[in-house]
Amino acid sequence: MKLDYRSVPYRILENSLQVVGIIIISAFASGGDGSDPLALFSFLMMGVLLVGAWQAAYVRNYEYRLDGDTIDIYSGVFSRREREIPFERIQNVDIAQNVIQRALGIAEVRLETAGGGGSSEARLRYVSRQEATRLQELISRRKRGDVTERDPGETGSILFELNQRELGILGITSANVRLLGLLFGLMIIVSPVAAEQVSPRLGLLLVFGPAIAIAGLVLLWIASGIQAVLRYYGFQLFRHDKELRYTRGLLQQYDGTIPLSKIQTLMVRENILARSLGYSSLVIETAGYGPGQDENVESAIPIAKRDRVFELARTIEDIGEPTFERPPKRARTRYVGRYTIVVGVITSLFGLYHWQTGNLPLWYAGAALWVLVPPAAQLKWTNIGYYTDDNYVITQGGFWSRRTTIVPYYRVQTISSTQTIFQRRRNLATLVVDTASSGGFWGGNAVALDIDDAVAEQLREQVHDEFHDSVEQRRQVSKQQRVSTSAD
């Protein structure tokens, strides 16, 4: 099958940089001064024609076939490339459509495999919207060896739909609280200093410094809120056979799939704003590739009441009611110590500043920050925990943005217990359960922070044993299924 012909004009637009390049080159080559409107217009036409011819040739020569077990893609104008992707290796079939593409009725289809790394395994740019849906449907069924054609319009049962109220709350709570807090603190401190640098008579600016900082933060907050609202507008999550599907987006519309069989970990994220309102979000991580673009991990539920989120998580992984084990009290003492050191460093930096410049006479007032230390340690401590049952290890951590990571034992890759020199002093250790999930910096690693070191050792072995049991169990189940299917 070929790409949709309407992708040619869009691809020209997309490559308008090339058009501009051609115009510039030909303007230089012709030796004209480029101010003649007629010449400029003809160059523009030439650019559009050249790029258009190239894009038309590309689209003409791009072909994909779905046969047997693979999707074969033949592409390239001068150097041809053939790529075969087995259906069973395709993890996600995503459809993206921005405003212009929607007006043209075309869509981009991205095929992702676990080995993807950053980029998609294949991107069909562009096919018609119906064809995109058909492909998505077809691949998801071929993946399971089902070759019958069904009505592509059919959708599964809706698991979750984002309503207006939740969208609003998403906008309010989507700011990166930790970053905001840090920036706020920084601006409070820096802006008077900066003001002083700008004009020595700072009286007024000293007052305005924090005000400007606050205004900047509010703007940042609004911007991130708008971004989140645009991104998750009209969010819907379906269960469709053995996949989850979602659609979202106002300007850039996005249809994605999450195959249930490829789910590595679930993560419930709730930043402090959302938490105080009783809301959470659910992130589903699959192997090797995070659905969605770039660094942003895709939410299965952008935001919903905490109970609702856990209810939905339970339909995916049967986690029951986890009751978290908190770290021992001496962990809290450790945080008090750690934050005291931070306060000490800040105060001595103030002191150093005063020593150098002599205009911070009250530098030792920085030590008053210590009043924040006990509550901070308490808050950190109460948000850390772990829980294990017969099927899952669940860990929790983080005050600003609390993450509850749910790892089924059979998704475990490696298990480590680590002990820093400071943890050793207090017989504490950290358990890290690694999975193959992709998600960014913290990834799908379940981290049980600062638990008793003996417990950590024992948990490590326990998780490993449970892992082996569950792998064995799954092997037997799939064996039985094979036997039963071959008997049919």
Partner 1 sequence: MTDGGDDSDGRSDREFAGDDNSNTPQAPREPAGDDEPGRSHSRVSAGSDSSDARSSPEGNDEPRSRSETISPAAELDDRGPTGDGQTAPKQTPPELAEPLPETIRPPESPAGLDQQTIEEYTTDRRSLNPTVQIQWGIWTTIGMLILGAVLNAVLGSFGVDLVFGGLLVPLLILIGLVWVVLRYRVWVYQIRDDSVYLERGVVTHVRTIVPYVRIQHVDTSRGPLERALGLSTLVVYTAGSRGADVSIPGLEPEQARDLQQRLKELAIEADGDDAL
Residues 71-100 that bind partner 1 (CB under 8 A): 88, 91
Residue 11: both structure tokens together:
């691809």
CB of 125 or CB of 460, closer to partner 1: 460
Q: Which stretch binds partner 1 (CB under 8 A): 32-40, 152-160, 253-261, 353-361?
A: 253-261
Residue 241: both structure tokens together:
């056979």
The single residue among 35, 79, 148, 323 that binds partner 1, judged by CB under 8 A, is: 323
CB of 150 or CB of 424, closer to partner 1: 424
Query: Residue 454, interface with partner 1 (CB under 8 A)?
Result: yes
**CB count in 10 Å sphere of residue 190:** 13
In order of 178, 251, 426, 429, 446, the CA distances from 422 in angstroms are: 25, 50, 7, 10, 21
Provide DSSP, 288-328: S--SSSTTPPPEEEEEEEHHHHHHHHHHHS------PBPPP
Nearest approach, Cβ of residue 101 and partner 1 (Å): 31
Query: Total residues contacting partner 1 (rule CB under 8 A)?
Result: 75
Nearest approach, Cβ of residue 359 and partner 1 (Å): 22
Residue type, 53: A
Residue 420 sits at φ, ψ, to 5 deg, of -80, 170
Query: Residue 414, interface with partner 1 (CB under 8 A)?
Result: yes
CA distance 331 to 434: 23
Q: Which residues contact 465 (CB under 8 A, 6 or more apart)?
A: none
CB of 35 or CB of 485, closer to partner 1: 485
CB 275 within 8 A of CB 208: no
CB of 24 or CB of 477, closer to partner 1: 477
Binding to partner 1 in span 96-125, by CB under 8 A: 114
Nearest approach, Cβ of residue 158 and partner 1 (Å): 18
Q: Which residues contact 410 (CB under 8 A, 6 or more apart)?
A: 467, 470, 471, 473, 474
The single residue among 111, 159, 274, 287 that binds partner 1, judged by CB under 8 A, is: 287
Query: Residue 259, interface with partner 1 (CB under 8 A)?
Result: yes
Binding to partner 1 in span 131-190, by CB under 8 A: 143-145
Nearest approach, Cβ of residue 213 and partner 1 (Å): 32
CB of 65 or CB of 474, closer to partner 1: 474
Query: Residue 338, interface with partner 1 (CB under 8 A)?
Result: no
CB of 89 or CB of 102, closer to partner 1: 89
Q: Taking the CA atoms of 113, 118, 122 and 124 in sequence, report the sign of the dihedral they define.
A: positive
Query: Residue 344, interface with partner 1 (CB under 8 A)?
Result: no
CB of 99 or CB of 454, closer to partner 1: 454
9-47 b/e with 16+ CB inside 10 Å = b? bbbbebbeebbeebbeebbeeeeeeeeeeeeeeebeeeb
Binding to partner 1 in span 205-244, by CB under 8 A: 242
Name beta bridge partners: 286: 263
Q: Which stretch binds partner 1 (CB under 8 A): 34-42, 54-62, 155-163, 321-329?
A: 321-329
The single residue among 19, 124, 263, 297 that binds partner 1, judged by CB under 8 A, is: 263
